[in-house]
Structure 1
C-alpha cells in the first residue's frame, strides 16, 4: 500500500524584490510503499532538502501534491498543520534537535506532551522503545552528558514514540563518528524490519547503501533510482557510487 505519493511537485523561489526566480524542484513524482526504506541522494543544490521540507510540511510547493496516508498535506490549513505533522511524521535530524535543559526522557516525551497524553501513557509508550534502542539506563541524563550516538538514539526514540506513518531523516549520520553511525544504520534497518517506513536524505554512500531503494535527484528532478533487491550492501554501495559519478560528470538520463 502506498503511504506517500509525490505528484508533479514544483517549487520556484522568488528573490526578495521579485527580480529572479530560482527553480528548486522541476517536476518530481514518486511514491513510497508502507514499510519501505528509501534514501534520497543528490549534489548540493539538487533540490533534495527542499523536497524533504515539503514532505515534512515545513514548506509549500509552487504546484503539485504530496499525499500522506491518503491526505493531501499541501491543502491542509496552516492552523492544523502542526497537529497533522505531530500525529503522522517522526523526525531525525543531523544535529539531534534535543533541548539541553530537558532530560533525554523529557525530550522524547515532548511530542506526547504537546498532544495532551498522560504521564502514565507516555511511560507505557517509552518503556519498550527505550529497551529496543538500548537507552533505558540513560533516560534521566541530559543531552550534554551523553555521546553523539546516544543523543541520536534518543532522537530516534522521540521520532518513534508517536507511532508515525513515516520517519523523515535528514543526514542522520552527519554528526556521528563511524562507530556511532554504524550503530544508527543498524538501528534503522532493525526498525524498518519491524515495519516502520523511513525516508532519508543523505550525502553518505554508506548510509544510502542500507536503504532498500535510492532516489537520485538532479536539477530538481528524479534522475534515477536503484532497488537493492538481492544485492549485498557492498554491491549496492558500488552501484550508488557509480551513479553519483555519472551525475557529477554530467552523464545522461538513465533508462
Structure 2
C-alpha cells in the first residue's frame, strides 16, 4: 500500500459572490511510496500550490480524497487537524517561517512544545538532527543572526524533529543563493536516503533533478511523469527541461 494516495482530486473555487467558478484541480490521481522523493512541477496557475495545500490539510477538495497510510485526511475532525499535521507532516517553506524572537533551537522545538513533549526528549531529538544538518553551533542564535541557508537548515530540522511520515516542501530553494541551494539539495538527498519520504513543489529544474520522480501538473491535471531510475541528476535535468518546453508549447510530453 502506498504511503500517500491522491484519488480523483477536484478543486473548484467560487468567486466572492458565486458568479464565476475556477477549476484549480481536475481529476488528479497519483500515489507516493514510502521512502520516495517526488518533485511536483508546473507553470504558475497550474494547480500545484492548490494541490500542496490539500495534501497539507490546509484546504479541502471539492471532491476526491487524499489518503495517508490508508486513512482519509478529510476524515480528521476539524479540532484535530493541527495535531494531525504535527504528528504526520513536516513542512519546509520558501520563506523559512521562523519566529525572529525565538532562537533557532526554540524554533525547531516549537512543534514538540505544542505536542507537550518533555524537554529531556526534545534535547535528545535535536542533537543528532542538528549535527546531520550542520547547525549544532548555531542553535542559540536568532534567525536574524544567520544566513538564508542556515535558516532553511533550521527549518528542515523543525520539519524532521517530529519524525513525520512525509515532508512537504514548498519551493525550498526559492529564497537561497546557488551555493546554499546546492547544500540544501544534498541534505534532502541524504535525508531521503535515510528513509524519509519527501514531496517537493518547485519551479527549479535543478531542485527537481535530485528527486526520484517528477510529476508535471498542467491545467489542474497530471500531465506527465518522469522516473529517475538509473539516470544521473544531469540526465534527469535534461529530461525535465525538455518536458517543460513541451508544456509551454502545448505539445505532447512523449514527443
The TM-score, its normalising length taken from structure 2, stands at 0.99
2:43–2:218 CA contact under 8 A, matched in 1:
yes
Query: How much has 1:253 moved relative to structure 2?
Result: 5.8
* Paired residue secondary structure (1:184): helix
Query: How much has 1:177 moved relative to structure 2?
Result: 0.2
* Alignment correspondent of 1:166: 166
Query: How much has 1:104 moved relative to structure 2?
Result: 0.1
* Paired residue secondary structure (2:155): helix
Counterpart Cα distance in 1 of 2:253 and 2:168: 27
The 10-residue stretch of structure 1 (94-103 or 77-86) with the greater mean CA deviation from structure 2 = 77-86
* Paired residue secondary structure (2:64): strand
* Alignment correspondent of 1:117: 117
**Cα deviation digits, residues 79-101 of structure 1 (max 9, x gap):** 11111111000000000000000
Q: How does 1:227-246 map to 2 (within 5 A)?
A: 227-246=227-246
1:209–1:233 CA contact under 8 A, matched in 2:
yes
2:189–2:210 CA contact under 8 A, matched in 1:
yes
2:3–2:70 CA contact under 8 A, matched in 1:
yes
* Paired residue secondary structure (1:25): strand
Counterpart Cα distance in 2 of 1:124 and 1:252: 51
Counterpart Cα distance in 1 of 2:108 and 2:169: 16
1:223–1:254 CA contact under 8 A, matched in 2:
no
* Alignment correspondent of 1:44: 44
Q: Cα RMSD (Å) of the superposition?
A: 0.9
* Alignment correspondent of 2:176: 176
Q: How does 1:85-164 map to 2 (within 5 A)?
A: 85-164=85-164
Counterpart Cα distance in 2 of 1:74 and 1:37: 24
1:104–1:138 CA contact under 8 A, matched in 2:
yes
* Alignment correspondent of 1:209: 209
* Alignment correspondent of 1:251: 251
Query: How much has 1:254 moved relative to structure 2?
Result: 4.0
Answer yes or no: is 1:71 the counterpart of 2:58.
Answer: no
The TM-score, its normalising length taken from structure 1, stands at 0.99
* Paired residue secondary structure (2:173): coil
Counterpart Cα distance in 1 of 2:119 and 2:94: 28
* Paired residue secondary structure (1:234): helix
* Paired residue secondary structure (2:22): strand
Counterpart Cα distance in 1 of 2:69 and 2:82: 16
**Cα deviation digits, residues 147-175 of structure 1 (max 9, x gap):** 00000000000000000000000000000
* Alignment correspondent of 1:57: 57
Query: How much has 1:252 moved relative to structure 2?
Result: 3.0
Counterpart Cα distance in 2 of 1:18 and 1:254: 39
Counterpart Cα distance in 1 of 2:128 and 2:15: 48
For structure 2, the residue ranges without an aligned partner over 5 or more in a row are none
